[in-house]
Structure 1
Amino acid sequence: MTVMTRRETMDRDPLRPTIKDTIGDRVRSLALEAGARPRAQGFGRLFPQLVAPRHRLPEGPRTLDALLDLAETMAEGEEIHREPRRKCAGDGDLPAAYTYLTEFVLNDLVWQRRSAAPPARPSESAPLESLDLLVNRRAGVLELESVYDAPRDPQDVRRMLLGQVAPAPAGQARPPRKGAANDLPRHPRSLDPGRDRIARAGDPRSDAMLVLSQLHVAFLKAHNRLVRDGLGFQEARLALRERYRWMVMNDLLPRLCDPQALEEARGRAGAGSPGAVPAEFAAAFVLAPAMARPSYDYNAGYRNVERGALATRLVLGAAGRGSDALPEHWIIAWEGFLPLEGLAPQRARAINTRIAGAESTASTLARRHLLEGYRLGLPTGQAVAAHLGLTPLAGERLLAALPESQRGAAAPFAQATPLWFYVLAEAGDPEGPAGARLGPVGSRIVAATLYGLLGAQPQAAGAPGRPFDHFTLSDLILLAEEEDLLAL
């Protein structure tokens, strides 16, 4: 009797492209054959020395089945606290808004697509032979592509177009000090779910969740505030890009990375660029799922709201129904996510191998990222650590760093661990960072990539507009709120 593996009994093979993917691949393949050249970049390898099979996970269905088992254990479940404004078990020290800045930066650098249909392989369970078939629609230079690949305001082309919020129903109110222009611009309502009120933005991922969507809106408003200072479009764009780069390198990175790894990366800044976003970074910087809370105090009217209920599509309603835009009572109150007032903000979750939220959603997300690392043929965490001259987290030490309920599924990977899982385990190690930041391997991948892509630490001196010597995420929100107040 033939015994089917768990991979074979799933509704869809997780490594097999969807029909939509296949059609898209074929169209792009025909365009390339006709001489078209995509604007997109490719992906590189941060560690090209680690491409041999001995540095990667073993190939085959047994590994895939073990990855699926491991993904199931990464769902945290609902047993953890339900009070967003009170620090409880599992919380870190980062204000909650940095979860979504981390996701925004990753989206600004990585948007993966295949450039052509993959060639026939001897086994469906084999990783890609090279990264040549993958394209990155992002330039990989921290230039706010998703913000500026979007329409400008037709009334003043120096400004970025914003969407007007919809009126609140009776009994609901717009948060104080918020103007009407607090949504992404949207297409009209449609009975087609794929077209219904979708955002007119450079990246549809920005509109998946309200917190991320509202962060995107903050960048648009910050640009428009700089225009009010008398800058033209190009000057305001350059000014905001310089501030954004300062924010990433001097506000976000020090909060996420080991200080020694940062110092090493600074010392090598400008010595050479990876030329393309490394696939290892695209895996290691997927931190937002581990940092996201199961619920948030979104604004004064929506306390302790399940994260899933903050999906933009749920708030807008079913296709062809509901309001034309984001209802005004769904504008975010950033003071609950950042230290902008006397009360402590909500905190991001400590970085570890658990993903909070609905169990099915969390395990599906974990499965996608674990299988993606396998598909890309990434080196294991231990291989990277050894290559960097670090002591690998392996064997009993690795298992001891994990929740007890996860150790059985992780045992097959104790000596050769998927890179993404290794980065999260290393960060959550009670004998190491204990969830406060990334560990040695994760820190070095992230810091080396960002300093390599940027070339050197950004300097504020040459930025147009009002001078600045620092620009944090809080400064971005305050700049955007200036635009709100001036528009009221």
Structure 2
Amino acid sequence: MPSPQHGFSVRNGDNTPQGAFSETGKFGRMFPELPAFTPSIESLTALGNAMTDDRTDPTDPARDHPDGDNRNVPAGFTYLGQFVDHDLTFDPTSLKEKRVDPQAVVNFRTPALDLDSVYGAGPDDQPYLFQLGDKDKFLIGKNDASPDANGPLNVKGRHDVPRGPNRIALLGDPRNDENLLVAQTHLAILKFHNKIVDGLKKPAGTPGAIPRKAEIGKTIFEEARQLVVWHYQWIVVFDFLDRILDPNQVNAVLNEGRKFYKFDTFPFIPVEFSVAAYRLGHTMIRSSYDYNRVFTFKDISPNSFAPATLGLLFNFTGKSRRMPPDGPGLDNRLPTNWIIDWRRFFEIDPAIKVNHARKLDPFLVNPLKNLPNVPAPSSLAVRNLLRGRSLGLPSGQSVARFTNLKPLSPSEIASGPDGAVAKRFGFDKETPLWYYILKEAEVQQKGLRLGEVGSRIIAEVFLGLFEGDSESFFVRNRQWKPTLPSQVPGKFTMADLIRFTEEISPIDGLAAPAPENENAED
């Protein structure tokens, strides 16, 4: 066993969590045999500070440099990925409270892709999430009237998550109001469910009707939920993960089964996944977005107010406590000019250019170097590296060797300005797992996908989560294919989900008016 002076520490006694255990709703280890890699806080801080992309577009400093764009991944998947993370895990403990025993940390989400972050405990136990007059359907929030360049912008229907009088969103998971893009993603799922309920209630043969299954005792709500969850699971695997994982590793897991993510009865969330591999989304974030025709860049729309910066996207949420204040005509709901245009985030309309996610590499956009309203350290990269240290993650090379994959060479780790800092602290030989996974993506896949180690961890965990969920389509009907309308029959994408809701860009009139319900939120 490597000695502590080389950055490794030994787990013993009560601090030896196993990778497989029978309790559900907890975190654990995928590689409990591997030693913790715990280099100095100072070295991790220096490395994290080197993981910043300060470059901007030479023609417009408000834009990210185009060389960092991943043109295979529309930016909507960045926030779908965050939404999925919130569906799998909820760990409310602070960074200071983390210890090397992940089994002492509670996961308040079920470790399954079951949308408990949306459905909560259901309409009987959490009725405030649902409409009073029709508890089969979710409550949808209204918007405040707001202007565009031509004056008042009046939009039909409701296009916000539901909110209480204090502006806080009424959601199954409050984190889905952390930023406007994940909030609008959550809203799309609410609308998707409601549209399915409407289709199930229509007489067979009428336009938009969805055939009901002859399952004894199953309510319309339960049928709708299964359709939503199974189509969502399909999207996660075949639309999201298919874009970002190394297909060779995915195929190896599918053909040979899981070799490293093991559990006895119920799945758990490995810290190697939640604290390292699945933190890939942080490097996909842009610093500004072409959000809709009101909040975009001047060369796209001369009448635009401003691009949608990360700061603005965090401000226009109730969770931020920075929503527009009380005033004449303001009810503390999302202004109509901040309703998303989904054509700019998923491949829906070829005539509309989509935002792209940033490449999967060791660089985070500049705004993430100084997070507002968080205790020091304020750098997201530094915080991620320290979290990995506090939970005793193994080094990237340890995981590569254990999984019979070829580790990156010292020269590959040391490449680039970030690599020079890594080499200064010996990280070119043994590397923090999160940084290693991002560097591997840059070296092996040019930032377009994750490399071998990152892909292997994520592929094994997602397959295990599906196999451990008795209600997933992987278990109930492995041959199931999506049944809802889609561009390609038998498949279903996030773009198909948005099209199905008929709520593509409400401020441009590309939306079906939502029926008024006197029992819905005012």
Query: Which band: TM-score by shorter chain?
Result: 0.7 to 0.9
Please tell me the residue identity of whatever aligns with 1:308.
G
Please tell me the residue identity of whatever aligns with 2:38.
L
2:339 corresponding residue in structure 1: 331
1:470 corresponding residue in structure 2: 491
Matched, 1:411 2:420: no
- 1:76/1:251 Cα in 2 relative to 1: closer, same or farther (>3 Å)? same
Q: Match for 1:95 among 74, 81, 98?
A: 74
Give me the whole-angstrom Cα distance separating, in 2, the residues matched to 1:137 and 1:224: 26
Spell out, residue by residue over 1:46-105, the C-alpha distance to the aligned partner (whole angstroms, 9 max, x if none). 11221x34xx234xxxx1111111111112225346489998211112111111111111
Please tell me the residue identity of whatever aligns with 1:242.
W
Question: How many Å apart are 1:441 and its aligned residue?
Answer: 0.3
Question: How many Å apart are 1:375 and its aligned residue?
Answer: 0.9
Task: Structure 2: give runs of 5+ residues left out of the alignment.
Answer: 1-22, 121-125, 202-219, 297-306, 373-377, 468-473, 505-510, 516-522
Question: How many Å apart are 1:405 and its aligned residue?
Answer: 5.1
Q: RMSD between aligned alpha carbons?
A: 3.0
2:435 corresponding residue in structure 1: 421
Give me the whole-angstrom Cα distance separating, in 2, the residues matched to 1:463 and 1:89: 36
Please tell me the residue identity of whatever aligns with 1:213.
A
Please tell me the residue identity of whatever aligns with 2:169.
A
Matched, 1:65 2:53: no
Query: SS of 1:136's equivalent?
Result: coil
1:28 corresponding residue in structure 2: none
Please tell me the residue identity of whatever aligns with 2:463.
Y
Q: Match for 1:279 among 262, 271, 275?
A: 271
Give me the whole-angstrom Cα distance separating, in 1, the residues matched to 2:118 and 2:458: 23
Q: Match for 2:288 among 287, 295, 317?
A: 295
Count of aligned positions: 421
Matched, 1:130 2:113: no
Query: SS of 1:267's equivalent?
Result: helix
**1 or 2, which has the higher helix percentage?**
1
- 1:230/1:105 Cα in 2 relative to 1: closer, same or farther (>3 Å)? same
Give me the whole-angstrom Cα distance separating, in 2, the residues matched to 1:96 and 1:83: 19
2:447 corresponding residue in structure 1: 435
Matched, 1:49 2:33: yes
Spell out, residue by residue over 1:256-281, the C-alpha distance to the aligned partner (whole angstroms, 9 max, x if none). 10011110121245898542011111
CA contact (8 A) 2:69 2:359 kept: yes
1:140 corresponding residue in structure 2: 111
**Structure 1 residues 5-404: aligned runs within 5 Å:** 41-50=25-34, 52-53=35-36, 56-58=37-39, 63-77=40-54, 79-80=56-57, 82=60, 88-93=66-71, 94-114=73-93, 128-149=99-120, 151-169=129-147, 171-172=150-151, 174=153, 179-188=156-165, 196-230=166-200, 232-269=220-257, 274=263, 275-283=267-275, 284-303=277-296, 304-311=307-314, 312-313=316-317, 317=323, 323-341=331-349, 342-358=351-367, 359-361=369-371, 364-400=379-415, 403-404=416-417
Query: SS of 2:137's equivalent?
Result: coil
CA contact (8 A) 2:51 2:418 kept: no
CA contact (8 A) 1:174 1:330 kept: no
Q: Match for 1:449 among 448, 461, 464?
A: 461
Task: Structure 1: give runs of 5+ residues left out of the alignment.
Answer: 1-38, 119-126, 189-195
Spell out, residue by residue over 1:107-128, the C-alpha distance to the aligned partner (whole angstroms, 9 max, x if none). 111111459x97xxxxxxxx83
CA contact (8 A) 1:102 1:287 kept: no
Give the TM-score, by structure 2 length.
0.74
Query: SS of 1:298's equivalent?
Result: coil
Query: SS of 1:92's equivalent?
Result: strand
Give me the whole-angstrom Cα distance separating, in 2, the residues matched to 1:462 and 1:86: 38
Please tell me the residue identity of whatever aligns with 1:91.
D
Give me the whole-angstrom Cα distance separating, in 1, the residues matched to 2:52 and 2:500: 37
Give me the whole-angstrom Cα distance separating, in 2, the residues matched to 1:466 and 1:298: 26
Give the TM-score, by structure 1 length.
0.79
